[in-house]
Structure 1
Amino acid sequence: MSTVTLSVASREDVTRRALAAFAGKRQGDHITFASVELLWQTLTGKRWELLKAMTGQGAMSIRETARRVERDVKGVHRDVHALLDAGILDRTEDGRIIFPFDAVHVDFTLTAAA
């Protein structure tokens, strides 16, 4: 089973993880955001629904994705392209879209404001 971790991390944290990976230490799959605000801006409720519908399902067309979440194709198309632009979804050689993970783990810590 392949799991991706969605997290909020500083540039230093990402660099540290990359250096560890270069040194041969397995880091797992990560999609990192610079802030919680950016995470929520990118993963709106409707986009989160898309990811839930696509997790572990293989490649599919935008029309099939829209059918699974019971939304209009135009709105799903817009959200799919936002997720493609953010590097969260991939496109297959035949043009279908894929979220190539079987599970999602979300990891961030909320602290008191300074």
Structure 2
Amino acid sequence: MNEVTIGITNRESINSRFMAVFDTGQKQSQFIGFESEEMLWKTLTLKRWQLLKAMTGAGELSIREVARRVDRDVKAVHGDITTLLHCGLLDKANSGKVIFPYDAVHVDFMLRAA
């Protein structure tokens, strides 16, 4: 199964992941990090989560097809897809279609006392 973990990260954590690969040569799991919980939730709104859910395991899709699957306006979906492309959650295929290249998503962050 092709799975991605979405979480909160910092420079130290990124360096640690990099060094683990460098030292062991073992592939790390896919990880997309945000610098804060606020940035994660600002980027991954409910409507964008719905897009990801509709696209999970679906292969390459046109923006129009994604909009049809979530029953939303094509222009609004286009804006959300652009944001998801910029943060690395979606890829653009050679065909011009978009793809969410994962079969599963795991969200991982810890809430601590301030």
Q: With structure 1 as the length reference, what TM-score do the two structures score?
A: 0.96
2:53 counterpart letter in structure 1: K
Aligned to 2:75, the other structure's residue is in SS state: helix
Partner of 2:56: 55
Question: Superposed, which structure 2 residues align to 1:98-109 within 5 Å?
Answer: 98-109=99-110
* Counterpart-to-counterpart distance in 2, 1:22 and 1:3: 22
Question: Superposed, which structure 2 residues align to 1:71-90 within 5 Å?
Answer: 71-90=72-91
How far 1:22 sits from its partner (Å)? 2.2
Partner of 2:20: 20
Structure 1 segments (4+ residues) deviating >6 Å? none
Aligned Cα root-mean-square deviation (Å): 0.8
2:106 counterpart letter in structure 1: H
Q: Which runs of 5+ in 2 are unaligned?
A: none
Q: With structure 2 as the length reference, what TM-score do the two structures score?
A: 0.96
Higher mean Cα deviation, 19-28 or 99-108? 19-28
Equivalent residues, number: 113
* Counterpart-to-counterpart distance in 2, 1:67 and 1:92: 19
**1:63-110, CA deviations, whole angstroms, 9 ceiling, x for partnerless residues?**
000000010100000000011111111000010000000000000000
Q: Which runs of 5+ in 1 are unaligned?
A: none
Identity %: 57
How far 1:57 sits from its partner (Å)? 0.7
* Counterpart-to-counterpart distance in 2, 1:90 and 1:22: 26
* Counterpart-to-counterpart distance in 2, 1:68 and 1:51: 11
* Counterpart-to-counterpart distance in 2, 1:94 and 1:38: 30
Partner of 1:2: 2
